[in-house]
Structure 1
Amino acid sequence: MSDERKTPEQRAQMTDIERLRHSAAHVLATAILKIWPDAQFAAGPPVENGFYYDVELDHRISPEDFEKIEAEMKKEVKANHTFERVAVSRDEALSMAQRGVLGALGERPHPSKFKLDIIQNIPEGEEISLYRNGEFTDLCAGPHVMRTGNIGAFKLTNVASAYYKGD
């Protein structure tokens, strides 16, 4: 995950395709959680040729998993959930991360460890926001398309391994 955060001005200038890709990353995370509920997520930014989400998972995702992940993603797109933005206090965000709610489909028995790290690195006084789509809630500055149905067609094409923050 890159430590470089977009400024509010840069986020406001994101193109439609960047918003769509960012939204697709949230739908990807939702699908992965429906299949592997213990997945831990770090960041899911849009990139030049698509989208991704940094995920820690006991199962090693491979191209053989793409079909079932895409099937879950298609269900989320078809459900046409709204992307709802919610501003929260630092204490609220930390509490939600401790309860495992961020980057998840609801409260979990273990904290959202990557989200705790990300929150600690948000400068004091900077707004903290979440986005919800369906059951999925994540720490996110946005922006997104209005609804999951706006994502339309997509295709998972590759998977890569990396270390969190290069560790």
Structure 2
Amino acid sequence: MTREGALLIMIAIAVVLLGLMAWGWYRRTKRDAEPLTAVRDLPAGTSVIAGYDGLYVATTRHGEPLERIAAPGLGFRSRADITIATAGIALDIPGQQRLVIPAERITAVALATVAIDRVVEKDGLVCVSWRTDPGTTVDTYLRARDASSAALVDSIRPLIHDSRTGSAA
């Protein structure tokens, strides 16, 4: 086999692999085409508990930190303004519609170290578990840039909805 033939084979393999990656991402975005929540703003009169400059890292299926959900506006890691209010969590990601996670849908909050393509120091990420409109539980990973992850968790913890009593924990 000539050098030119080997080069053409390598280029063909690379094109096929890139095509398969594009096809996989296209299928994932089709699967996750619906927004995770219809709520786009915090209700009027909501008290803001805290605000953080941070990073939106990823949203994954609950308990599967490597299975990214590519819902509108949530497919890629980005800078985010994180607002914690009595009615829920608002994520303002540049160039995207505001995402509001209503407080009654938050099921857990914890510290994490790994999410998809992001590995940080021990307990450097915040994992917020919540129920979407279709009723699926997902994990949203956040990272505060101007405060500790523990401070962000402490701000979110009072919002966790206790399904047994119907009130915040």
* TM-score of the aligned structures, taking structure 1 as reference length: 0.31
More helix by share: 1
Higher strand share: 2
When Rg is computed on C-alpha atoms for both structures, the one with the higher figure is: 2
- More RCO (CA 8 Å, sep 6+): 1
